[in-house]
Amino acid sequence: MSSAAHQAMPFIAASAEEAVAQIRARLGSEAVVLNVRPLKTPGLARFWQKPMIEVMAYRPEPTAPPAPPAPAAAPINEALAGFRQELEEIKQQVDLNNSGWRVATLLQKTGLLPLHTQQILDALKSAHGDHPPSSLAEEIALARAQLASNWRAPYAIGPHSMHVLIGPAGSGKSTLLCKWLTQAALVDGRQARVWRLDGATSNTAEFLSVHGEALSVAVERCWTPDGRAFSEDIGFMDLPGVDWRSSLAIRELAGQLTRMGSPHMHLVLNGAYDIKVLLAQVRAFSALPLEDLIISHLDEEPHWGKLWNLTLGAGLPIRHLSAGQNIPGEFWEASAERILARQFPRSPLNER
């Protein structure tokens, strides 16, 4: 093989399998994939031409030290497995856009993944027939009702309960705890107590203690077994974030929470993250008996339709929606109507 093989080169193929075959033939099984991207088909041709992909790959120098840390260097099979799924989605998108239902394209623009758009479209067709109603407004009204029928309400919170907010570092757990605490103490008039606890790392959320003081709520800095018999109406535990890619870290958290009497577990996610990342985070934390999701950072996310991917794909209800760093600021009970109103801002149904 020529030394040029050690430099990245492009491979163009119609499928992931075809790209693998080309790369293996040219560069051998050691090949490393640097980047994969769909090639844009110009104009209308995209409706009938198979989508093509371009894969940049190279063969590492056999004697050289480990390959330079290229941005997204990944083993060939891993990168292509991900891409195979993306290709599948591109095909699904083309089918959806050709379905005759204009709302299918609109739903995807609001953040719904092709898989779940297809699910909604299938339900619409089985209820109303293959042909869409004559106006787009009617299509939207049907799609809204169909989405809403998939809403799952979270459990009502009892008169005396302990809650823990868990999630990745920086997802907004401590901020949300302050918002929820403020709501519970000031609006619902409940007696509250907070435990700001260390985990594998220390809990640096000083603002939580300051905020507790302002509300005259006790904020404990360590857990003692008598915490299980707390007398207030509602208890909240704040923990440092956990690396969701480490199943060991999640198992350790599970052990810690069991020893603390298995509080109600709410997973806090940054709603501005890519939906694929959010779904992977839900899967990782589902090793714990999660009760529901709380979504933060919605001030940074215009596409609220993505939230339905969590309802439809993650099988967990959403309890609260939150936007911004201010406390209490914007903090709402999650509901289908609230999401739909943001998802379709110009829909006449919002004025009802």
Ligand X SMILES: Nc1nc2c(ncn2[C@@H]2O[C@H](COP(=O)(O)OP(=O)(O)O)[C@@H](O)[C@H]2O)c(=O)[nH]1
* Site residues for ligand X per CB under 6 A: 167, 169-175, 205, 241, 296-297, 299-300, 322-325
Partner interacting with residue 175 (select from Mg ion, ligand X, none; CB below 5-8 Å by kind): ligand X
Rounded to an integer, what distance in angstroms lies between the CA atom of residue 212 and that of residue 229? 20
Residue closest to Mg ion (Cβ): 174
- For the chain, count helices (H), then strands (E): 11, 12
Sheet of strand 52-58: strand arrangement:
9-13, 52-58, 32-39, 74-75
Q: Which residue has the tokens 């119609």?
A: 14
Rounded to an integer, what distance in angstroms lies between the CA atom of residue 114 and that of residue 109? 10
**Min dist. Cβ of residue 113 to ligand X (A):** 23
**Min dist. Cβ of residue 60 to Mg ion (A):** 40
**Smaller CB distance to ligand X: residue 107 or 250?**
250
Rounded to an integer, what distance in angstroms lies between the CA atom of residue 93 and that of residue 180? 39
- Asked whether the beta carbons of 192 and 180 are under 8 A apart, the reply is no
* Rounded (5°) CA angle 189-195-197: 155
Partner interacting with residue 118 (select from Mg ion, ligand X, none; CB below 5-8 Å by kind): none
**Min dist. Cβ of residue 300 to ligand X (A):** 5
**Smaller CB distance to Mg ion: residue 174 or 296?**
174
**Smaller CB distance to Mg ion: residue 227 or 240?**
240
Partner interacting with residue 172 (select from ligand X, Mg ion, none; CB below 5-8 Å by kind): ligand X
Antiparallel, parallel or unpaired: β 74-75 and 234-238: unpaired
Partner interacting with residue 325 (select from ligand X, Mg ion, none; CB below 5-8 Å by kind): ligand X
**Smaller CB distance to ligand X: residue 209 or 296?**
296
**Min dist. Cβ of residue 200 to ligand X (A):** 13
**Min dist. Cβ of residue 174 to Mg ion (A):** 3
Partner interacting with residue 132 (select from ligand X, Mg ion, none; CB below 5-8 Å by kind): none
Sheet of strand 192-196: strand arrangement:
218-220, 192-196, 234-238, 161-166, 264-270, 292-296, 318-323, 330-333
Rounded to an integer, what distance in angstroms lies between the CA atom of residue 145 and that of residue 241? 37
Applying CB under 5 A, which residues contact Mg ion? 173-174, 205
